[in-house]
Structure 1
């Protein structure tokens, strides 16, 4: 593939792109440290050397660069008496796709691990790597953007596999090779990659056996230099308990004398699954003797095969009757999607995912006491909803269609985690003296994006659904908007606002209720209620809704926004252009780029303007480049017209920038 530079953006050379053999689809990046395997890579796999990587030569960099800054977050009073603040934390090692062939910006399917329980996570590891594909993985931008919006840092993976899995000690030696000055070029390169791509550090997992004391010393010096360089760039390093300081690989299942120097050289350590209650107790004590926080140790919890049926000695990690021992790392929680049969729907996935993170009760205010100790029962949730404006359309980052203002703007399935909204952290707290309605994300209809919030039940008493823990300043000009609809029955709706938190964990939130109207199924469709808060002043600590109905009712919430009056639309992007095209049997693929809009932008949305003037949604991204596959002429057109708009936090769209592509 040829390369050229358009302003600061690497671009595909248009002459090379005209060839049907060129694959313009950008993928998440992966590398070997330096030397490549012998032989030929398999289909769809590209072998690359990290040593040879240069940002200015990376034609996919704009598609892989995250744009959302890491949000600050706060911990409200826990919703139950078992979850704790300031003790154990949770890490997740997630394989979102294969190492090779992982699209940079989502894909045309709703079947995706759309992780959304960010409220319980402190670190996400973009897990993967294999001897036949590549060993060093940079997270793709949608994952990082979604995590950052919720205050969760994301680490790439450096995986040096066991020899039984094709590992080769030369790759370890490549990684820790020094230059003439005694420094580690690949430590500098890892920091450069993370900084260019916009993620937060590296998870280093050296499991290739056969090393000696000299290699162990080089690895320790490498980790220390990686941490030193990374700290200057705001990065973090997590070490996996595998290689020992003598260069051998022997999983300790503990922090001890064989790996403590690696722990001290990094920011945290993943303790291998071979831990025992005694080894974790000793590990926590040793961490404190070393002057470190015991909760910087992640005890491995393997849920890849059995999910919530996994056998875990929870009391060894997070006992209920005394202080937590260490933190823990969930290995492969995407089981919640993988264990479902083929043909699974987004709704089925989220039902399973809610059970995994919340527990069988599906209400974190009513924690289960069964064998599965769900994260909501262990750690306090966190939130990033602390400033105005705030808006959500309950978009989970995938869907069966794309909706705009309640109408279908694209009938195609899609996923793009970077378009995910900030979603309710507590799924689902419902307070009622009567029967509890079911609460879920629903994909059959939406106001915006791919999903909406559905409350469905047989009501015999008012039900308050808690939605967001917040720190939102209120003033006489504050407006709250609810876009909602009754699908069955008649429902009286009130906005629930709390100006203070509960006194103790587990106590109900002290809400004040603001009338938001009475809706009847089949009457007006989607309705937006704009509410003044009747003199409420101070800081909104929690937002929810109270629903009153008689008998069967289904109520759908499409959007919630809190803003000051007088909001304006964002500024428009500029210079939309096609930077590459390639034609094949399925149609023409295009790469687009544009100049970012000045001022704050949540994301950008690309539409095709069809003959007759209607618009079709093609996709969105937080960055300033996008790829669209398999386009074809429509209605006898000689050229296709495209427009890009900036979208702000209230989902207001800017004026468009246009470009045309001739067929």
Structure 2
């Protein structure tokens, strides 16, 4: 059998769109004796066909489902897949440099976090994952994927939505109707836009119901199956209009991809024009196909204005799947430096920053590539490199922050790690990933203000206070260096304190807390910091220093640290494991979970669930196994009130496995445990 065409050969041949996720092999019958997906307890991210299913049988690990028959009440994995973190409000501080702008171009990111099928609902036991952290530059995240052999409609899994929402980024599920070259069937398009006896579009209501139940923010609609006519085009337009109307009523949004035109044919325009403007008018925004030019984007911006729409509701597609930050882009056509931005930017597949790395790469390797992609070659958004051919988002777009209320804390956990740490000690030596456990992270990575040699700053995975990572400052400090950490809008009261958990690993260093109670005078300027010394301490290893904001009133606008070498001038290695800001109230541990129970079991695979009297006080939950000798072993964490524990085996003499579930608050104070046992 001839192999399926690659995305690039399709581009060259002009037979299909250039806008496709990786595809599995064509559907095949499951191998003899293969386990049925329906019997597995491991929950996965959900995916569907609109209504009719392919002929034949799904491949191993694939479950074919119809969106038309989906009901929240009978969704067995909903408790594992539904987001628990509300979408945070963001603010825009003074830009870190003079080229980044607020209120103009925005950034949309289309990311395939995993395969369509068998994408675990709550992370997995590997640190090798696309742990997106540069949320400050993103305005809309699309959970990209879908294939003709698995399913076409993807609901984002909870860890992605929880991490994005914590940073104020809405997340869209994906509706993908693939070209025929990729197995697309026009029947699936007709299924999606079918009408009921009253003339309504039942699958539009289903999509809105899924997003509401799962807790994400709407849908990206990408109709690329050719062969349609004007009647199908009219049905699709009616469907999008109804989807938008129902979505708006539930606080959701709809983005349309420039593929199908109003006459029902698939013809990528690379522009907003008369052939697709009705779809743009029916949706909140539109992704403009990659074949745009400077002229077509300029005309698109003009047409948007004529339609009394914002030009920045057009995302100009930038394909970075193959070359990432080495991609050649006509940036001046989108985000010129000498005049207003023309449109917004749609980044297709920025997970290149992970995917292009060689086998055996480390989390540090990934974050180095990701920082270069989002920040630029200088790795410091306060001083972009003007000779850098890659115009990173930080160069053009102002960063945002959600740090606006007390208590606030971060352990600089990126959502993956080689081990899990609690209070500076290894609680599990198993690699892991779970984006829902990610902290609110510094948005300007990494701004270092010094008149001397700039030390290297990075997320480091060799040690942590809690989670899997910490911030490491490494290098010669021949002059004092200020590291910007957070742009904030935190109220200052008489009892407000800042806590830093840190340690010096090489050299000796004086640490001061940097706090600004106002914005800088202009873009690119340093915050007007006041420097507050940390109490003296001589303890080796991790120590926590508490600083009162004496003499400051109003609002904290920025937090950082100033480091000064006090030894012989040799290299310094200093690690920051935790930062917390709080007052007298809200510092206690949350109430313990209640009603812990095993909801399903099969050998060493179990599903746990529990209740909580005040879930709004909980940041996440941790699950530990207690061994017969009393040893506690960290199994994992989740923001949901359900957890899957897989592959467990009895310890010597163990007649029943025992679990402890704890609620963890915003300051990482943990509740008393709720305990449940299950006989082997």
The answer, yes or no, to whether TM exceeds 0.5 is yes
CA contact (8 A) 1:318 1:325 kept: yes
The equivalent residue for 2:557 is 541
Q: Distance in 2 between matches of 1:519 and 1:412?
A: 33
Q: Does 1:188 align with 2:221?
A: no
CA contact (8 A) 1:490 1:518 kept: no
Measured at CA, do residues 431 and 635 of structure 1 come closer, stay the same or move farther in structure 2, by a change above 3 Å?
Answer: same
Q: Are residues 1:569 and 2:589 paired?
A: yes
Q: Secondary structure at the match of 2:617?
A: coil
CA contact (8 A) 1:490 1:519 kept: no
Matches within 5 A, 1:83-162: 83-162=100-179
The equivalent of 2:634 in structure 1 is 617
Range 485-494 or range 564-573, more displaced? 564-573
TM-superposition CA deviations, 1:222-249 (whole Å, max 9, x none): 0000000010000000000000000000
| C-alpha separation in 1, matches of 2:194 and 2:472 | 56
Shift in Å at residue 610 of structure 1?
1.6
Tell which deviates more after alignment, 163-172 or 365-374: 365-374
1:483 aligns with 2:501: yes
Residue aligning to 2:515:
497
Q: Secondary structure at the match of 2:271?
A: coil
The answer on 1:24 being equivalent to 2:41 is yes
Report if the CA contact (8 A) 1:491-1:519 is conserved: no
Provide the residue aligned with 1:590 in structure 2: 606
Is 1:560 equivalent to 2:579 in the alignment?
yes
2:437 aligned with 1:419: yes
Cα separation, 1, equivalents of 2:86 and 2:579? 23
Q: CA deviation at 1:596?
A: 2.3
Return the alpha-carbon distance in structure 1 between the equivalents of residues 228 and 38 of structure 2: 43
Given candidates 49, 54, 58, the residue that maps to 1:37 is 54
- Which aligned segments of 4 or more residues in structure 1 are displaced greater than 3 angstroms? 18-21, 517-520
- Residue in 2 that maps onto 1:527: 543
**Is residue 509 of structure 1 aligned with residue 527 of structure 2?**
yes
Aligned-pair CA distance for 1:19: 11
Instruction: Give the alignment of 1:215-226 within 5 angstroms.
Output: 215-226=232-243
Q: CA deviation at 1:21?
A: 8.8
SS in 2 for 1:608: strand
Which residue in the other structure is 2:601 paired with?
581
Does residue 345 (structure 1) correspond to residue 362 (structure 2)? The answer is yes
The residue aligned with 1:7 is none
Could you state the TM-score of these two structures normalised by the residue count of structure 2? 0.93
2:622 — aligned with what? 605
Report the Cα distance in structure 2 between the residues aligned to 1:458 and 1:657, rounded to whole angstroms: 48
Displacement of 1:503 in angstroms is 0.9
Partner of 1:458: 476
The match for 1:78 among 95, 104, 119 is 95
Cα distance between partner residues in 2 of 1:19 and 1:98? 18
Cα distance per residue 1:331-368 (max 9 Å; x no partner):
00000000100111111101110010000100000112
Query: What CA RMSD, in Å, does the superposition of the two structures yield over aligned residues?
Result: 1.2
Matched residue, 1:658: 675
Could you tell me the TM-score, scaled by structure 1's length?
A: 0.95
CA deviation vs aligned residue, 1:280-312 (integer Å, no higher than 9, x gap): 000001001101100000000000000011111
Instruction: Find the counterpart in structure 2 of residue 626 from structure 1.
Output: 643
Aligned to 1:403: 421
Matches within 5 A, 1:31-430: 31-369=48-386, 370-430=388-448
1:5 is matched with none
Q: How many angstroms does 1:574 deviate by?
A: 0.4
Mapped contact 1:66–1:145 kept (Cα < 8 A): yes
Cα distance change of structure 1 residues 264 and 20 upon mapping to structure 2, 3 Å threshold: closer
Tell me if the contact between 2:190 and 2:232 (Cα under 8 Å) persists in the aligned partners.
yes
Q: Is the 8 A contact 1:93 1:124 kept in 2?
A: yes
Confirm or deny: 8 A CA contact 1:394 1:453 kept in the other structure.
yes
| Structure 1 unaligned regions, length at least 5 | 1-17
Higher strand share: 1
Tell whether the 8 Å contact from 1:19 to 1:582 is kept in structure 2 after alignment.
no
Distance 2:660 2:36 in 1: 25
